[in-house]
Amino acid sequence: MLRQRFVLDTTALTDAQAWESEGCTTICEGMNAILERVAQARLYLDISCYVPYPSVYSEIRDFARNNNCPSTVLSKVDTWLVKKTPDRYRVKVPSKIFYEYVDYMRGRINKGMTVSEEAIWEAVSRCIALSAEGQSLPEMKEEIEREVIGGIIRKFREKYRSALRYGILDSGPDIDVLLLAKDLDAAVVSQDLGIQRWAEQLGLRFMESRSFPVMIRDYMGLIPGRKLDEEVEYEGRMI
């Protein structure tokens, strides 16, 4: 059987729905449980899980540290995830992808400008309405800061994030995941909509983070003589 390879994005370990499917209630428990599934996949299913080095690898370790996860989680990251730097010079990407990406980004930027214009018009309209009440400038300033500006900025940030960030590649680690998967002919595991969209454009296999531990669990349940949640023994310890 052809050996399966997966390239993991940070969300493969940190997505809440991924670790909730393992019965976990905290991020550290969840990361530990998914890494145990990765260990089972490596030892019993001949499945290798890669992370781009140093970009995604550093993100995962920083995430674990920032959430005060125990050292065992960091140890499992180093033990079971294969660290590899994508060959950015050798991997070939069709030029059509660049044209599509530029066209796609132009559309998203135009949406962002529309959101900005709407926020400006709303702020101006509400300020004009306040001035019509005949208040003095100091009185208007306080009310504008309290009632107008704060609310408009919050709404603007939500709409702008939706218009310009979701579904795009907005970081180096995102690109590294796709390049490494292309280099290894591997499947991508992520919950990021941008990575999903461009994995499809590159013809890469894709799996949502929340489905990944479920897949391993189902595979393990089909191994003759093994129970679904049987622990794995590695170097004399149970994981």
d(CA 15, CA 198): 20
Q: What is the pLDDT of residue 104?
A: 78
Band (37; pLDDT cuts 50, 70, 90): very high
pLDDT tens readout for residues 149-178: 778 888 888 887 777 766 677 788 999 999
Sheet of strand 206-208: strand arrangement? 82-84, 47-52, 4-8, 187-190, 206-208
Q: Which residues contact 191 (CB under 8 A, 6 or more apart)?
A: 9, 11, 12, 15, 17, 18, 208, 209, 210
d(CA 195, CA 56): 13
Q: Is the confidence at residue 123, as pLDDT, over 60?
A: yes
User: What number does CATH give the domain 4-92+172-238?
Assistant: 3.40.50.1010
d(CA 85, CA 53): 5
Q: What is the pLDDT of residue 146?
A: 67
Give the mean pLDDT of 210-232.
Answer: 79
Indicate the Cα dihedral angle 108, 154, 195, 52, nearest 10°.
130
Q: Is 31 helix (H, G, I), strand (E, B) or coil?
A: helix
Q: Is the confidence at residue 49, as pLDDT, over 80?
A: yes
d(CA 153, CA 122): 11
Query: pTM for the whole thing?
Result: 0.76
Percentage with pLDDT > 70 across the chain: 85
Q: Is 237 left (phi over 0), alpha (psi -120 to 50) or beta?
A: beta
Q: Which residues contact 48 (CB under 8 A, 6 or more apart)?
A: 3, 4, 5, 6, 42, 82
- The residue extents of the domains of the chain are 4-92+172-238, 95-164
